[in-house]
A and B are shown apart, each in its own frame.
Chain A
Amino acid sequence: MKHLLAAEGLDRDTATELLDTAAGLKQTLLGREVRKLPTLRGRTVITMFYESSTRTRVSFELAGKWMSADVINVSAGGSSVGKGESLRDTALTLTAAGADCVIIRHPASGAAHRLAHWLSDTPAAVVNAGDGMHEHPTQALLDAATLRERLGSLDGRRIGIVGDVLHSRVARSNVHLLTCLGAEVVIVSPPTLLPSGIDSWPVTVSHEIDAELPSLDAVMMLRVQAERMHGGFFPSAREYAISYGLSEARAALLPEHAVILHPGPMLRGMEIASRVADAPNALVTDQVANGVHVRMAVLYHLLASEGADGV
């Protein structure tokens, strides 16, 4: 595996391997005072974040550092990027300086693919940390890892994804990965926030959240961006919260064993009630913790084996 650009195209074996490695790393580091493994010593990892994001960037940084890699963060603001240097030139400059791996988050869909194309003559590995509305594969992996911990195998499990699927890279990645791992995905969304073409997705679509909740093993609440309200996608924040928000009453409709996920950051009171977000079956903090192990596993698979030198 040279890059991780998307959850689409990951086969079941590779996905399972990554999740198993993440679980192994989590178990290895459990209880240790010295949270450091020498495995990626001497490897240089550069994070290029063209969208601000503290949580994901810190997660990747920790992942690299806990594996003893040298991690450098480049953010769009104060660098040559702000001065108009193209993505392509920035990437080539950084790899010429010696990066073994570039982790990119960018507002344009396809940015990670283009980056991999421009770097194809170099040994550098590319990890997609979120490209526009397209994919966020490590998010899907950490969501799957969290679900596996609580539910065991995902075969036959019914997982609901609720909210703005049209603009969500988290939703796209999760649909690919969850169906690949054998789960059934149910999408609940107002019609205006569904992509045209969703009929070709291997999912069930519903506009009635109450009807779906009792049969779900897990529900993933997507955040609703304020900008969407100005695009006329739904009449008001209030109507959205009433129709699609996971209120306390709604959360009670879930089966006992069911769990709640959210990619963060949460808009409490909008897509999820505050008390629901803090309930024991809401696994947001688990997701964040698993994020570091999953990202360590990704770096391990890309950088610590034969073929890691682009061979």
Chain B
Amino acid sequence: MASRSRDATGNAAERELLSAGDVARTVARMAHQVIEKTAVGAETEPPVLLGIPTRGAPLAARLAERISEFSGVTVPHGSLDITLYRDDLRHRPTRPLEHTRMPSSGIDDKIVILVDDVLFSGRSIRAALDALRDQGRPKAVQLAVLVDRGHRELPIRADYVGKNVPTARSEDVSVLLSEIDGRDAVLLRPAAEEGQS
């Protein structure tokens, strides 16, 4: 029987799914998978990694570094802001724009790997595909995510998954990264209870 413990603020406790060490090992494992699948090597063009802000961007940078480290090949990386392509803009207050930075070598005719922290409904990835289309014409587009939590609303799947986490729709999965949050972790927060602030 699971007891529900509470943290200092009185909220039902969040669960740590991945520790900092787990995150590092997962990224390393994904890097090896990318090397294998895209045949990164001296004779092939390396893939280009584009992270979807906010947290997809530092993730893409880390993944690119790990791939370069393991393969000896420099992997270009950048970021792709999807704010202007979202399909849910009218349902919230004005969203500030994030940063788009294309690597100088461009994306035309290359394998582009979109990188995001959590894959959920798939709508962000759909927006990213639209945004990517206006940037150029890659040879192929693949998707790498640190966490796949299910509940897809579109026919989208990831090529590289750090960890599969089955969740209830109302639960919340957060990825923390030291570049933004001061530490690395993946947390699962349960659905908010009634009567809770």
Residue of chain B at shortest CB distance from A18: B94
Is there contact, CB below 8 Å, between A304 and B90? yes
- Within the complex, the shortest CB–CB distance from B134 to chain A, in Å, comes to 5
CB–CB B85/A38 < 8 A: yes
B104 to chain A, nearest CB (A): 10
Answer whether residue A60 sits at the interface, using C-beta atoms and an 8 A cutoff: no
B99 touches A37 (CB 8 A): no
Asked whether any CB of chain A lies closer than 8 Å to the CB of B69, the reply is no
| A25→B135 CA distance, assembly (Å) | 14
> A39 to chain B: which residues have CB within 8 Å?
84-85, 89
Any chain B CB within 8 A of the CB of A249?
no
Categorize the interface residue count of chain B.
10 to 19
Tell me, yes or no, whether A278 is within 8 Å of chain B by CB. Answer: no
Q: Across the interface, which residues of B come within 8 angstroms of A38, CB to CB?
A: 84-85, 130
Is the beta-carbon distance between A28 and B95 smaller than 8 angstroms?
Answer: no
In contact, A304 and B94 (Cβ under 8 angstroms): yes
Q: How many residues of A contact B (CB 8 A)?
A: 23
Residues of A within 8 A of B130 (CB): 38
Q: Write out the residue numbers on chain B whose beta carbons fall within 8 Å of the beta carbon of A226.
A: none
Distance of A229 Cα from B2 Cα, bound (Å): 86
Contact A17 B99, beta carbon cutoff 8 Å:
no
The yes or no answer to A308 lying at the interface (CB within 8 A) is yes
A80 within 8 A of B: no
Bound: A301/B96 CA distance, A: 9
Asked if A264 is at the interface (CB within 8 A of a chain B CB), the reply is no
- Is B100 an interface residue, CB under 8 A from the partner? yes
Does B6 interact with chain A (Cβ within 8 Å)?
no
| Contact of A309 with B134 at beta-carbon distance under 8 Å, contacts A31-B102, A39-B84 already known | no
Separation of A32 and B100 alpha carbons in the complex (Å): 12
CA distance A31 to B134 in the complex (A): 11
Q: Assuming A28-B84, A36-B134, A38-B85, is B97 touching A305 (CB within 8 A)?
A: no
Q: Mark A193-227, 1 if CB is under 8 A from B, else 0.
A: 00000000000000000000000000000000000
Asked whether any CB of chain A lies closer than 8 Å to the CB of B182, the reply is: no
**Shortest Cβ distance from B86 into A: residue:** A39
**B90 contact set on A, CB distance < 8 A:** 304-306, 308-309
Counting CB contacts under 8 A, is A20 at the interface?
yes
Query: Which residues of chain B have a CB within 8 Å of any CB of chain A?
Result: 81, 84-85, 89-100, 102, 130, 134-135
Given contacts A25-B97, A39-B84, A307-B93, 12 further A-B contacts (CB under 8 A): A20-B97, A24-B97, A27-B99, A28-B84, A31-B102, A34-B134, A38-B85, A38-B130, A305-B89, A306-B93, A308-B90, A309-B90
Write 6 A-B pairs (CB below 8 A) sorted by A numbering: A21-B96, A21-B97, A25-B97, A301-B94, A304-B94, A306-B91
